[in-house]
Structure 1
Amino acid sequence: MTRTTTEDMINRTVIANRLDSITKEMGLALEHSAHSPIFAEACDFACCICDRDGQLVSQLSGIPILATAGSFSVKSVLRKYPNSITNGDVFIINDPYDGGNHLPDIGIITPVFFEDNLMFFCVSRAHHGDIGGSTAGSYNPKATEIFQEGIRIPPTKLMRNNEFMGEILDLILINTRNPNMLKSDLLAQIGANKVAAKRILEMVEAYTPAVVNKAIAKTLEQTEMLTKKRIREIPDGIYRATEYIDDDGFQEEPVKIEIAVKVEGERLLVDFAGTDPQVKGFINTSVVTATTASGIAVLWFLGDDIPRNDGAFRCIDVHLPKGSLVNPYEPAPMTLCTLTPASEMIGAIFQALNQAVPGRVPAGYTRYAGPSYYGRDPRNSRYYVGFSFCSTGSGGAMQGRDGKSYMSPMSNFGGVKTPDIESNEIQYPHITLYHEMETDTAGAGEYRGGAGMKYAFELYDEGSHIVNFGDGMKFAPYGLNGGNQGSLNKGFFVHQGEPVVMASKEAPRCVAKGDQVILSSCGGGGWGKPLDRPVEKVYADVLDEIISLKTAKEIYGVVITETGIDYDQTNQFRNSKNGNKRV
């Protein structure tokens, strides 16, 4: 190996890791400078860096469904402003029909110049509490077109020469219910990008633009080669799977997501032919979200050592039939797309690829279902919009590991954090009644899913509203390789002492002081046959109240008495169901 080759390899490794550390620093800056709890506590955001052509080169901070989409947003900016991007510009975007996920996710894009040459784009994408529309919080289960969901922002220049274009900012802010909060959070995003730009320029200064560009090109090339190698290791074939969404909030029939994963040589195609046509409700999915979800699922299967950059995505093709749920005609609504449809796309791809090489992917994760709530806080008369992040369910099991309790849906991969109960009560006018794991909700298996959660809170402001949105009240998280499904979501609204069952997609309900919301969230799916779970683990689950004595015996075949495990009866019970296998 020559000295030059060794030097290039070292530069490539150091620069790639440097960019990853910069995206992490972006995330920390955003988390610590943001005003809203959605940013500062739930961390519902993502940061990434793209090269001058919009290729994704680093994305290690935040949730993948947002980070991976950054490249789409940059390319939309490049299409609209091909010859008019200058140093000191900042762009804003959220339109799901032009480079965005869904309207609440606003992208801030900052070009980075070195000596008058465009080299990078820093991108922060974050979910904002309200971006207008007919329902506060912008999740409107009864929207029938995107115009009812909030303000659409095509790729737009928000700053020039590092100064706000005031008319643009004012136009956006006046269309939202909490403009001060939105402005503060946009400033946090802009600030995070500034931090990244400063670090990038320090790096370029130290290495020169030529060295940095060469290192990035080689990094993407190496990632592409590794991804192709992993795809070649999968047996050629077509692997099919289907997932269902409960409904769209209007029709009662389930909505089908049908996929075929075609592996041929060193390329992989995710084909959504067979997926249902677009629907009336807000579960339609943007091209950005559907493409991103497909890439996330495939890369999870291929291995976590593959860098999540554009080199990996070059090997993955996605077919999204026009007019279908995953590529609708305008102006179909689509605010729920980053939660429910994205998660079920990932789940369907997992189930298909599990047929090719079993054991690499988890069973089904929780499906989100919980309300947003909004009104005037009686303590300070300020308008608020809150989200029940505490209603998160749990993850699915996989070979060798039980599912983790208290995880966000698959599209977020646990990236969204749950706020601290006490700080959440300070932010919003409600009191938490209880928040705990629920017995017998974990999907049974040799490796069981995480337990679902019981969560309830009481509102004490008069005249507020809640909007329940989500899924998973008809279809539970799937099990794999003989594992059982997880549990379903359930929700009750107790209005003036009378409980009412909540649907997963509801119009706003008026709230009286003292009304309560009671939620049971999905437990994750199990992996492997429950009768193969070691009896000692079953006993531990009983002691931890994750499962009951009845479930231990009837599902796992383990007999537990007051003195512990009865091995003789357990052997007899399991043998009657499972051949002659001894425990």
Structure 2
Amino acid sequence: MTRTNTEELINRTVIANRLDSITKEMGLALEHSAHSPIFAEACDFACCICDKDGELVSQLSGIPILATAGSFSVQSVLRKYKDNIKNGDVFIINDPYDGGNHLPDIGIITPVFFEESLMFFCVSRAHHGDIGGSTAGSYNPKATEIFQEGIRIPPTKLMSNNEFIIEVLDMILINTRNPKMLKSDLLAQIGANKVAVKRILEMVEAYTPAVVNKAIAETLEQTEMLTRKRIREVPDGIYRATEYIDDDGYQEEPVKIEIAVKVEGDRLLVDFEGTDKQVKGFINTSVVTATTASGIAVLWFLGSDIPRNGGAFRCIDVNLPKGSLVNPYEPAPVTLCTLTPASEIIGTIFQALGQAGPGKVPAGYARYAGPSYYGKDPRNNRYYVGFSFCSTGSGGAMKGSDGKSYMSAMSNFGGVRTPNIESNEIQYPHITRYHEMETDTAGAGEYRGGAGMRYAFELYDEGSHIVNFGDGMKFAPYGLNGGHQGSLNKGVFLHTEKPVIMESKEAPRRVAKGDQVILNSSGGGGWGNPLDRPAEKVYDDVLDEIITIKTAVDIYGVVITEEGIDYDKTNKLRNGKKLCKN
């Protein structure tokens, strides 16, 4: 290798890693400066950097469904503003029909100029507590069109010459229930982008624009080459799978996601032909979300060492039939799409690609199901909107690893953090009754899923409301390679001491002081035959109260006495069960 090639390789590696560190610093700035618990504690945001053409260069490993979508937002800005992008501009966007995921996720986009030349865009995308619409919190299970879900913001210039365009800002804020909180969080996003702009300019100053541009182009090319190599290693063919969503909140029939993953040479197509048509309820999916979810699933399968930048997506195609669940006609409602069906899209692709490479993908994760709650806090008379982040279920197992308990939905891959119980009680007028893992909810397998959760809280403000939304009350997380399903989500609303079974998608319910919400979140799916799980691990699960002694015998074939494992009876029982199966 010549000295020039060595220098270029070093530059490429250092610059790529520096950009990654900048996106991480953006995330820290956003987390530490935001007032909203959704930002500061749940960290429901993502940050990324795109090149001047809108191609993803680097992203924070936060919420994948948000970060990967950043390039779509930049491309929407470029289409609308073209040559009218100047130093000191800042853009805002959330429209799912024009570069956005769903309305609560607002993107702030800041162009980066070096000596009058546009070089990058910094993007922070974050979930906001309320962006208007007919229901506080903006999750409205009974919405039938997007206008009921909140304010739509197409690519719009929010700042010029580093000053707010006040008319634009005021128009957005007045359409929300908590304008002070929204403004504060937007300022946190703008500030995070400013941090990135400063760091990027320092890097360009040190290396020169030519060196930086060359390094980025080569990084994207290297990622594309690696992705193509991994696709070539997958046997050519068509791999099919089907998954179902409980319902859309109106129809009782399940909603079908049908996917064919077509591998040919060094290209891969995710084809949604056969997926159900768009529905009345708010589980329709924006093109951005469906495309992003597809890319996330494919790259998980191909390998974690592939950088998550635009080069990786150059050889992954996605077919989204117009008018279907994954590409609806306007103005279909879409707010739930980043949870359901984004998670189900990922899971369906996993099941398809699992046929090409068994053991490379996990079993099913818990689907999100829990309420938002809103009203006036009696302690300070302030309006609040909260979300039950503590109702997350658990992850699915994969070959070599049990599923992790207490994980966010598959579309977030654990990126959303759950808040500290005590601080959550300070921020919102409720008390946690209990919060613990639940026995016999983990999908059985050689590697078991994570255990489900039991969570209950009591509201003590008079006249508040709850809105339950999510899925997974009819379809449990799937098992793989002989592993068992996980458990189902369940919800009970204890209203004036009378229990009411909650559905996964409900209109707002009025809350009386002392009412309780009781949630049972799903355990993850299992991987492999439960009879192959080491008896010692089954015994440990019994001691940890993840499973009962009865489940140890009935499902795992492990006989446990007061003295411990009875190996003779266990071997006899397991051999008999395996013979019966064969």
Q: Which amino acid aligns with 2:368?
A: Y
Contact in 2 for aligned 1:27/1:61 (Cα 8 Å): no
Post-superposition CA distance 1:522-565 (Å, at most 9, x none): 10000000000000000000000000011000000001111111
Query: What is the CA distance between 1:61 and its match in structure 2?
Result: 3.7
C-alpha distance in 1 between matches for 2:371 and 2:251:
20
C-alpha distance in 2 between matches for 1:32 and 1:257:
39
Q: CA RMSD in A?
A: 0.8
C-alpha distance in 1 between matches for 2:416 and 2:67:
13
Q: Secondary structure at the match of 2:371?
A: strand
State whether structure 2 residue 401 is matched by structure 1 residue 401: yes
C-alpha distance in 1 between matches for 2:568 and 2:178:
65
**1:365-380 map, 5 Å:** 365-380=365-380
Q: Secondary structure at the match of 1:364?
A: coil
**1:513-532 map, 5 Å:** 513-532=513-532
C-alpha distance in 1 between matches for 2:61 and 2:45:
8
C-alpha distance in 2 between matches for 1:297 and 1:366:
16
State whether structure 2 residue 165 is matched by structure 1 residue 186: no
Contact in 2 for aligned 1:236/1:265 (Cα 8 Å): yes
Structure-1-length-normalised TM-score: 0.99
**1:493-504 map, 5 Å:** 493-504=493-504
Q: How many residues align?
A: 581
Contact in 2 for aligned 1:376/1:461 (Cα 8 Å): yes
Residue 19 of structure 1: aligned partner: 19
State whether structure 2 residue 175 is matched by structure 1 residue 175: yes
State whether structure 2 residue 268 is matched by structure 1 residue 272: no
Residue 512 of structure 2: aligned partner: 512
C-alpha distance in 2 between matches for 1:311 and 1:573:
52
Residue 458 of structure 1: aligned partner: 458
Q: Secondary structure at the match of 1:201?
A: helix
State whether structure 2 residue 419 is matched by structure 1 residue 419: yes
C-alpha distance in 2 between matches for 1:295 and 1:325:
18
Query: What is the CA distance between 1:578 and its match in structure 2?
Result: 1.4
Structure 2: any 5+ residue segments left out of the alignment?
A: none
**1:13-412 map, 5 Å:** 13-412=13-412
Residue 468 of structure 2: aligned partner: 468
Residue 567 of structure 1: aligned partner: 567
Q: Which amino acid aligns with 2:512?
A: A
Structure 1: any 5+ residue segments left out of the alignment?
A: none
C-alpha distance in 2 between matches for 1:32 and 1:549:
46
Q: Which amino acid aligns with 1:522?
A: S
Residue 549 of structure 2: aligned partner: 549
Q: Secondary structure at the match of 2:107?
A: strand
Residue 441 of structure 1: aligned partner: 441
Q: Which amino acid aligns with 2:133?
A: G
Query: What is the CA distance between 1:342 and its match in structure 2?
Result: 0.3
Post-superposition CA distance 1:301-350 (Å, at most 9, x none): 00000000000000100000000000000000000000010000000000
Query: What is the CA distance between 1:119 and its match in structure 2?
Result: 0.3
C-alpha distance in 2 between matches for 1:558 and 1:181:
54
Runs of 4+ in 1 over 3 A off after TM superposition: none
Q: Which amino acid aligns with 2:565?
A: I
Q: Secondary structure at the match of 1:140?
A: coil
Query: What is the CA distance between 1:287 and its match in structure 2?
Result: 0.1
C-alpha distance in 2 between matches for 1:215 and 1:240:
38
Q: Which amino acid aligns with 1:203?
A: M
C-alpha distance in 1 between matches for 2:168 and 2:400:
53
**Deviates further, 59-68 or 347-356:** 59-68
Post-superposition CA distance 1:475-518 (Å, at most 9, x none): 00000000000000000000000000000000000000000000
Contact in 2 for aligned 1:48/1:61 (Cα 8 Å): no
C-alpha distance in 2 between matches for 1:576 and 1:210:
70
Q: Which amino acid aligns with 2:96?
A: P
Query: What is the CA distance between 1:580 and its match in structure 2?
Result: 11
Q: Which amino acid aligns with 1:536?
A: E
Q: Secondary structure at the match of 2:197?
A: helix
Q: Secondary structure at the match of 1:340?
A: coil
Post-superposition CA distance 1:69-103 (Å, at most 9, x none): 00000000000000110000000000000000000
Q: Secondary structure at the match of 1:542?
A: helix
Q: Secondary structure at the match of 1:346?
A: helix
Q: Which amino acid aligns with 1:386?
A: G
Q: Secondary structure at the match of 1:210?
A: helix
Q: Which amino acid aligns with 1:5?
A: N
C-alpha distance in 1 between matches for 2:18 and 2:580:
56
Query: What is the CA distance between 1:121 and its match in structure 2?
Result: 0.2
Query: What is the CA distance between 1:568 and its match in structure 2?
Result: 1.1
Q: Which amino acid aligns with 1:35?
A: H
C-alpha distance in 1 between matches for 2:140 and 2:390:
20
Q: Which amino acid aligns with 2:312?
A: A
C-alpha distance in 2 between matches for 1:537 and 1:333:
46
Contact in 2 for aligned 1:51/1:57 (Cα 8 Å): yes
Q: Which amino acid aligns with 2:78?
A: L
C-alpha distance in 2 between matches for 1:92 and 1:273:
33
Q: Which amino acid aligns with 1:560?
A: I
Q: Which amino acid aligns with 1:120?
A: F
Q: Secondary structure at the match of 2:386?
A: strand
Post-superposition CA distance 1:452-483 (Å, at most 9, x none): 00000000000000000000000000000000
Q: Secondary structure at the match of 1:355?
A: coil
Post-superposition CA distance 1:344-393 (Å, at most 9, x none): 00000000000011110000001000000000000000000000000000
C-alpha distance in 1 between matches for 2:10 and 2:542:
52
Q: Secondary structure at the match of 2:242?
A: strand
C-alpha distance in 2 between matches for 1:325 and 1:460:
39
C-alpha distance in 1 between matches for 2:575 and 2:61:
49
C-alpha distance in 2 between matches for 1:29 and 1:483:
42
Post-superposition CA distance 1:2-29 (Å, at most 9, x none): 1111110000000000000000000000
Q: Secondary structure at the match of 1:74?
A: helix
Contact in 2 for aligned 1:26/1:61 (Cα 8 Å): no
Q: Secondary structure at the match of 1:96?
A: coil
Query: What is the CA distance between 1:60 and its match in structure 2?
Result: 2.3
Q: Secondary structure at the match of 2:354?
A: helix
